[in-house]
């Protein structure tokens, strides 16, 4: 069964659900867990790093080094936020009796998750899925879709729909819930 579970996390509100799903499964299977956060400009809420990677270009056109330094500082704060999240989840999992490690790597989230899973020899990847579909997924891409198709192991996605469920619960009758669960 699954002995090594890689949990791909970002700093979105979905990370708690992904972590709890992974923790419950790891406890039930007595599996070890690796928490992974990929630092990327693609992540929601990340600072723009383009300016930092092309600092000479921007300074040549009169952009002050202070603005570039502010961007570096924002990136460092973003990285520290990721490390704090990983450390907090690691402490929680360890307290629950699950052998847990963490890693934070800069890169392309989809490729980095797959490569890390391959190198760590993960049996399972657990990650969130925002639920973009249609044109938004076509234009923005989907980390979960890429991982589903390129991962070296099984993948469990946790759907981001907590807000939708709360709203839906107010409008769904018990008969409608039964119909959904029986189909």
Considering the domain boundaries, does residue 58 fall inside one?
A: no
Sheet holding 154-159, edge to edge: 100-106, 32-39, 4-9, 124-129, 154-159
Give CA–CA dist 83/79, Å, rounded.
Answer: 6
Band (pLDDT 50/70/90 cuts) for residue 70 is: confident
Give CA–CA dist 9/35, Å, rounded.
Answer: 7
Give the pLDDT confidence score for residue 58 in this predicted structure. 53
Where is pLDDT greater, at 61 or 10?
A: 10
Where is pLDDT greater, at 65 or 114?
A: 114
Question: What is the domain-level CATH number for residue 117?
Answer: 3.40.50.620
**Domain coverage including residue 129:** 4-48+82-182
Q: Is the pLDDT of residue 113 over 70?
A: yes
Q: How many domains does the chain have?
A: 1
Q: Please, is 115 exposed, middle or buried when counting C-beta atoms within 10 Å of its C-beta (0-12, 13-18, 19+)?
A: middle
pTM here is 0.78
Q: Which two tokens stand for residue 7?
A: 């949990």
The secondary structure element, H or E, covering residue 113 is helix 109-120
Q: Are 49 and 71 in contact (CB under 8 A)?
A: yes
Give the pLDDT confidence score for residue 29 in this predicted structure. 97
First to last CA, the chain: 28
Where is pLDDT greater, at 118 or 161?
A: 118
Q: At what angle do helices 109-120 and 143-150 cross, to 10 degrees?
A: 30
Average pLDDT value for residue range 54-64: 56
pLDDT digits (tens, 9 = 90+) for 140-169: 458 888 999 999 999 999 986 544 444 444
What SS3 class is residue 124?
A: strand
The candidate with the shortest Cα–Cα distance to 107, out of 146, 139, 137, is 146
Q: Is the pLDDT of residue 129 over 60?
A: yes
Partners of residue 121 on adjacent β-strands: none
Side-chain-side CA neighbours of 18 within 13 Å: the count stands at 32
Band (pLDDT 50/70/90 cuts) for residue 180 is: very low
Considering the domain boundaries, does residue 148 fall inside one?
A: yes
Where is pLDDT greater, at 157 or 72?
A: 157
Considering the domain boundaries, does residue 153 fall inside one?
A: yes
Considering the domain boundaries, does residue 70 fall inside one?
A: no
Give CA–CA dist 87/57, Å, rounded.
Answer: 37
Q: Are 2 and 117 in contact (CB under 8 A)?
A: no
């Amino acid at each position: 069964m699954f002995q090594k579970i890689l949990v791909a996390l970002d700093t979105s509100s979905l990370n708690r659900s992904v972590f709890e799903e992974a923790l419950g499964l790891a406890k039930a299977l007595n599996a070890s867990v690796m928490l992974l956060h990929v630092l990327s400009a693609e992540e929601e809420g990340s600072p723009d790093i383009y300016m930092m990677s092309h600092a000479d270009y921007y300074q040549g056109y009169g952009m002050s080094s202070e603005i570039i330094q502010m961007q570096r500082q924002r990136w460092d704060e973003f990285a520290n936020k990721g490390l704090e999240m990983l450390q907090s989840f690691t402490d929680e999992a360890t307290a629950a009796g699950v052998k847990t490690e963490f890693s934070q790597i800069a890169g392309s989230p989809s490729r980095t998750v797959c490569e890390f899973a391959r190198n760590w020899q993960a049996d399972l990847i657990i990650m969130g899925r925002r639920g973009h579909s249609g044109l938004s997924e076509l234009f923005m891409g989907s980390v979960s879709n890429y991982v589903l198709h390129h991962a070296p192991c099984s993948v469990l996605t946790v759907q981001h729909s907590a807000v939708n469920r709360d709203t839906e619960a107010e409008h769904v009758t018990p008969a409608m819930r039964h119909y959904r669960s029986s189909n």
